[in-house]
Amino acid sequence: MLIVLEPEINQEQKNTILNILRDGRCIFREITSTGQTIIGATGDAGHSPEFFENLPGVVKVIPVKTAFKLVSRQLHPEDTRVRIGDVEVGGERIVVIAGPCAVESRQQALAIAREVRNSGAVLFRGGAFKPRTSPYAFQGLGEDGLKILAEVRETVGMPVVTEITTPAQADLIMKYVDVVQIGARNMQNFDLLKCVGRLGKPVILKRGLSATIEEWLMSAEYILSEGNGNVILCERGIRTFEPYTRNTLDLSAIPVIKALTHLPVIIDPSHATGMREKVSPMARAGIAAGADGLMIEVHNDPDRALSDGAQSLYPNQFFQLMRDIYVIAPVVGKQLDFGYLDKTRTARAVKKTTGKEPKAACLGEMGSNSHRACIQYFGSDVTPLSMRSFREIFDSVNSGAADFGIIPLENSLAGSIHENYDLLLEYDFRIIGEITLRIKHDLLCLPGTKIEEIRRVHSHPQVFRQCRQYLDRHPDWDLVFVTDSAQAVKQIREAGDKADAALAGKDAAEIYGMEVLEEGIETNPRNFTRFVVISATPPTNGSRRKSSLVYSTGNQPGALFATLKIFADNGINLVKLESRPIHGKPWEYMFYIDLEGDIESDEFGPVLGRLREKTDFFKILGSY
């Protein structure tokens, strides 16, 4: 039963409810979500739902039919985000956990950790207590293994995950690791579940070899009922009649889980398939199906691994998989971020120096694509600030009102956003990162509106252009231009006229309580926008894979070619070249270049020198 409380309920009224639940020996929990306070109670309180509904301070009572209560989405409609140091599981950034099956030695663990971190993994895994089918197989290094994991965290800078196999290991787990894993074989070890519930550390709960989804969720319920809400579910394959793979990865569990529970779910394709060459295809499928992350076994010498070598990826295979996930994630509205851990450190550094929560200026209201870009880039570490123009974004970074700015630079259908290229030249900021979003447009209306009632559609001109084919089917609609699509949604909500609709994204519908009447109405679904993040003070940490430059050359034959030859001679891959008119100098142009590599690294020193010689004006916009 879920008891939804009035916002103005007083403590005395609340205590009355809690005392009745306590007397009825119910297990209950108070949860605040989307501004509402809810008491979730399980057990027979000895009173009907109507009885509770009539108590002062209660809005309504929702009976939850499922056996699981605390994990149910009914209780907690919003996704739970499990925080592990700088990492957040369950948000819009894909979390990849990688490492060997077992910690075998200090050298092995450190070497693999460095490799997987460079490839974008954010958590390191490694078993120290291995539950093995055979008592004669390698059982793990025990506490020595945990000490190695702690060293990995300190030296490589990744939080670490390991499996607990008995409550007797609780103290050691508390001492050395960040996330505790319940293995498939222990999914219904109820004492162990209660133990990790009490530990309070984030838990990865693997699905049992032959557990139904409901049994799995009931195990999660054990952990939550002990007061630990930080549970991440992990689908790792179940036993079926199919012997070809070690287990059968139940991909359909992902959408089922997403509907039933608010807890995040990740996929372990290593144990699911048991075969190296099957791991990457299933990992890609898992992300496409909506998983929040992956757990992948990686080994630097899998042929000599002490456990699960056959299913462990080589580090370079892991890197290739991560590149694929990087491409797939935006299609399902998420991101794989190679600089995830460095980024949170950047945000934290800002907080440390300014003493304030870091802020990023972006165009439009909450729910705009720029806001989405901000949230997907920084997670919840940075607060988005709504701006009305691109220049306002640059000005607020300039004045220090914002620590970062998020600006769109190009759209895959409409091309470059020239205003921002010009502003990058005018202001002296650095590009510190980039993010690509898939842009989907929906037709949003007030709840209960029928399509025949719509007379006017509000949005940004760019959005109308991207939805041309759909709009052509509704020639009687008037198009109303606004500065950003989320602004349109907000205005319509406030005006409350069913004749008004907006073209905007799903996020805006959720934020402003609007209904999606038609989904995905953009003409071409391959619609991506690349945003960059600007800052007045570039971070010093982090790896840089790309650089952006702007320069002009003299007006003589072969001047541009001479600069391009420098890139060609040095094997530097250009990924973008764009020319823009120089203001006040008709028919003279600036060349904007994006290239692969860190142009400011020592390795590129001579290249930089030669470029400066061959150009009249030269500016590095950033390496990121």
Binding site for ligand PEP (CB under 6 A): 101, 127, 183-185, 206, 236, 271
Q: Which is nearer to ligand PEP, 307 or 317 (CB)?
A: 307
Q: Which is nearer to ligand PEP, 165 or 535 (CB)?
A: 165
Which partner in ligand PEP, Mn ion, none is near 47 (CB below 5 to 8 A by kind)?
none
Stretch that binds Mn ion, among 305-313, 365-373, 433-441, 557-565 (CB under 5 A): 305-313
C-alpha 517/C-alpha 537 separation (Å) is: 44
- The catalytic residues are 529, 531
Output the CA–CA distances (angstroms, integers) from residue 619 to 293, 409, 430, 579, in the order listed.
38, 17, 10, 14
C-alpha 266/C-alpha 82 separation (Å) is: 12
Q: Which is nearer to Mn ion, 274 or 290 (CB)?
A: 274
Q: How far is the CB of 465 from ligand PEP (least distance, A)?
A: 49
C-alpha 162/C-alpha 196 separation (Å) is: 13
Binding string, residues 354-383; x marks residues near Mn ion by CB under 5 A: ------------------------------
The C-alpha R_g of the chain, in whole angstroms, comes to 27
Q: Are 379 and 88 in contact (CB under 8 A)?
A: yes
Q: Are 412 and 527 in contact (CB under 8 A)?
A: yes
C-alpha 183/C-alpha 180 separation (Å) is: 10
Instruction: Kindly tell me which residue out of 115, 235, 268, 308 binds Mn ion, with binding defined by CB under 5 A.
Output: 308
Should residue 594 be labelled a site residue for Mn ion when binding is judged by CB under 5 A?
no
Which partner in ligand PEP, Mn ion, none is near 159 (CB below 5 to 8 A by kind)?
none
Which partner in Mn ion, ligand PEP, none is near 206 (CB below 5 to 8 A by kind)?
ligand PEP
Amino acid at position 354, single letter? T
CB-CB neighbours of 71 under 10 Å: 27
Q: Which is nearer to ligand PEP, 20 or 234 (CB)?
A: 234
Residue ranges of alpha helices (H) inside 66-189 are 106-118, 143-156, 170-176
Q: Which of residues 78-107 bind Mn ion (CB under 5 A)?
A: 101
Q: How far is the CB of 276 from ligand PEP (least distance, A)?
A: 15
Q: Residue with the closest Cβ to ligand PEP? A: 183
Query: Which residue in this structure is represented by tokens 């702007």?
Result: 550
Q: How far is the CB of 248 from Mn ion (least distance, A)?
A: 17
E-assigned strand segments in 339-412 = 359-363, 383-387, 404-411
Q: Which is nearer to ligand PEP, 103 or 521 (CB)?
A: 103
Q: Which is nearer to ligand PEP, 145 or 622 (CB)?
A: 145
Six-digit token string for 507: 């996020």
Q: How far is the CB of 111 from Mn ion (least distance, A)?
A: 18
Amino acid at position 407, single letter? I
Q: How far is the CB of 206 from ligand PEP (least distance, A)?
A: 4
C-alpha 587/C-alpha 582 separation (Å) is: 8
Binding residues for Mn ion, per CB under 5 A? 101, 308
